[in-house]
Amino acid sequence: MFRPFLIALMLACVTDHVLADIIVTVQSGTIAEGGTGYVDVYARSSSTDSFYVTSYHLKIEEETTGTTAGSLIFREDINQSAAQQTITSPVPYVLQSDTDIGNWSAARQDPLEDEIIGGDSTLSLNDVQLTTADMLLARLYLQHSVAIPGDAVGDRWVIKLMNAPSTYFEDSLSANPTIDRASYSTVGTFTVVSAVPEPAAGLACAVVIAVLARRCRRRRGLKN
């Protein structure tokens, strides 16, 4: 009687482990030509997974669009801050209830400006749980630049999670929860759009147009 029960218990544990995969998704968006922006990376579980430390390796790749002008990179300066630890919207940071600024890092991999490695761990070193609801794993800031102004509008770039030793989750028992393989093939796509004029620049243009219009009216009045 005991042996069949033990086998059933082992099968249940194996089945549960297989089903509980961590799913990482990179969000899509747009970035202004020559501007800055950010990309959110979310994590959830297909069931429930526990971990206390995480590391992620992300890469930016250009998507073929018929143009090669422009460059999208991770910003080095802002990514050294841990402001993401206080983010609550649109979804809260994954370790928000148990985190410390000293545990967080995100460094661009020089000279490869298109890659970044980041991570965090709980302050208490106790596990936190991932459920089926998305949580913010990382908010990483981006910079777009152009070789010739205007040539990069329409460029598309993909940001993906790398299947590398520097991408992992670990629990307090030193076990590594499984990351769903689809996490490495699902990418976030960033499209470069025309830069919107700064409000001050727009106001200056409006003033110039108004002055020119006034001069035209005065000249017409003098001719009449």
pLDDT reported for residue 140: 94
Model confidence band, residue 11 (pLDDT cutoffs 50, 70, 90): very low
* For range 183-196, the mean pLDDT: 90
Interstrand relation of 22-26 and 36-45 (parallel, antiparallel or unpaired): antiparallel
Q: What is the pLDDT of residues 25-61, one digit of tens each?
A: 999 999 998 999 999 999 999 999 999 999 999 999 8
- Phi, psi (5° rounding) for residue 187? -115, 160
pTM (2 decimals)?
0.77
pLDDT reported for residue 30: 95
Q: Are 42 and 132 in contact (CB under 8 A)?
A: no
Q: Are 153 and 174 in contact (CB under 8 A)?
A: no
pLDDT reported for residue 7: 43
Question: Taking 60 as the threshold, does the pLDDT of residue 21 lie above it?
Answer: yes
Measured between alpha carbons, how far is 85 from 95 in angstroms, rounded to an integer?
7
Which residue has tokens 């959110």?
40
Question: Taking 90 as the threshold, does the pLDDT of residue 131 lie above it?
Answer: yes
